[in-house]
């Protein structure tokens, strides 16, 4: 179980006339259980990515805590947090994050090989690429892929270490309807195997895969 309590993030913004701190996320409480698909939507700038990054162990909150199975993420040292993230969390970040100098399969294997020395990576990555329908692109460079193919590669990479939680930040942005449906179906499939999915999206069609829909308004989390 992933549990966030009183989670807040303040950022500093320098304006033309003044500079001030503001709450990008204010006192959010949230629990996500196994296999649950939680969909978060809300206006641009409302704090969705900030919340996702704090839940995923990537951004230290100003206040509050995130606990994974009773372990408080931000009380761990960097090394312990990185290794917990690698073992338990898969992140599909907003925007493109492919390493262009690597092939598709090398991109997918990367998180696995950072922490493991066994030789299971190749076969595992290939299986995931098959599930994503892009096995034929395994040896292409990521710079040669379409937007939809890159998203599917990012999902495969996020699943490489069998995470208990997947955090997907607008994984269907810039995709056409067909690819949007493919990505949503894949995430649903991931959840059916017991992985929790936290999905930030503007896509109204995402409601069909959601167990719970939340909204973010100016840093405040509410049930939709
Ligand atoms: N590192 C930062 N420093 C200062 N302000 C930041 C920083 N990161 C985000 N912000 C601000 O915090 C607010 C929330 O940003 P966030 O990226 O969480 O929004 P979002 O809901 O994900 O938006 P979008 O739908 O456009 O992705 C925005 O006003 C943004 O400008
Ligand atoms: Mg965002």
Q: What mean pLDDT comes out for the span 15-20?
A: 84
Question: Would the pLDDT of 153 be above 90?
Answer: yes
pLDDT, one tens digit per residue, over 83-94 is 999 999 999 998
3-state secondary structure 144-185: HCCHHHHHHHHHHHHHCCCCCEEEEECCCCCCCHHHHHHHHH
pLDDT, averaged across the chain:
94
Among 10, 19, 43, 50, the mutation site with the greatest number of ligand 1 atoms within 8 A of its Cβ is: 50
The CATH code of domain 2-223 reads 3.40.50.300
Span from the CA of 50 to the centroid of ligand 2 (angstroms): 7
The percent of residues above 90 in pLDDT, for the chain, comes to 82
**How far apart are alpha carbons 223 and 219 in whole angstroms?**
13
Q: How do residues 62-74 score in pLDDT, each as one tens digit?
A: 999 999 999 999 9
CA angle, 122 then 127 then 128, to 5°: 100
Q: Whose CA is nearest to atom 6 of ligand 1?
A: 11
For the beta sheet containing 71-72, the strands, ordered from the edge strand earlier in sequence to the opposite edge, are 19-32, 2-14, 63-68, 71-72
Determine the Cα–Cα distance for residues 105 and 140; give it in Å rounded to an integer: 8
Note the pLDDT of residue 14. Answer: 87
> Is 197's pLDDT higher than 80?
yes
Length in residues, the chain:
224
* Residue indicated by tokens 């509050």: 64
Is the CB of residue 54 below 6 angstroms from any atom belonging to ligand 1?
no
């Amino acid at each position: 179980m992933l549990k966030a309590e009183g989670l807040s993030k303040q950022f500093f913004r320098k304006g033309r006339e003044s500079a001030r701190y503001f709450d990008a996320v204010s006192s959010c409480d949230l629990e996500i259980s196994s296999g649950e698909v939680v969909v978060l939507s809300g206006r641009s700038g409302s704090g969705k990515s900030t919340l996702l990054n704090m839940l995923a162990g990537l951004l230290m909150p100003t206040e509050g805590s995130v606990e994974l199975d009773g372990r408080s993420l931000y009380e761990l040292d960097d090394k312990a947090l990185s290794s917990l993230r690698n073992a338990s969390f898969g992140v599909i970040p907003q925007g493109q994050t492919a390493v262009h100098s690597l092939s598709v399969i090398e991109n997918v294997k990367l998180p696995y090989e950072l922490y493991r020395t066994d030789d299971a990576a190749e076969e595992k990555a290939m299986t995931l690429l098959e599930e994503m329908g892009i096995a034929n692109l395994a040896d292409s460079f990521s710079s040669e892929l379409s937007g939809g193919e890159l998203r599917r590669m990012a999902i495969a990479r996020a699943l490489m270490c069998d995470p208990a939680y997947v955090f997907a930040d607008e994984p269907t942005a810039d995709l056409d309807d067909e690819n949007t449906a493919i990505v949503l179906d894949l995430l649903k499939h991931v959840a059916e195997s017991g992985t929790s999915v936290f999905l930030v999206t503007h896509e109204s069609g995402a409601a069909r895969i959601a167990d719970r829909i939340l909204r973010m308004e100016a840093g405040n989390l509410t049930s939709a």
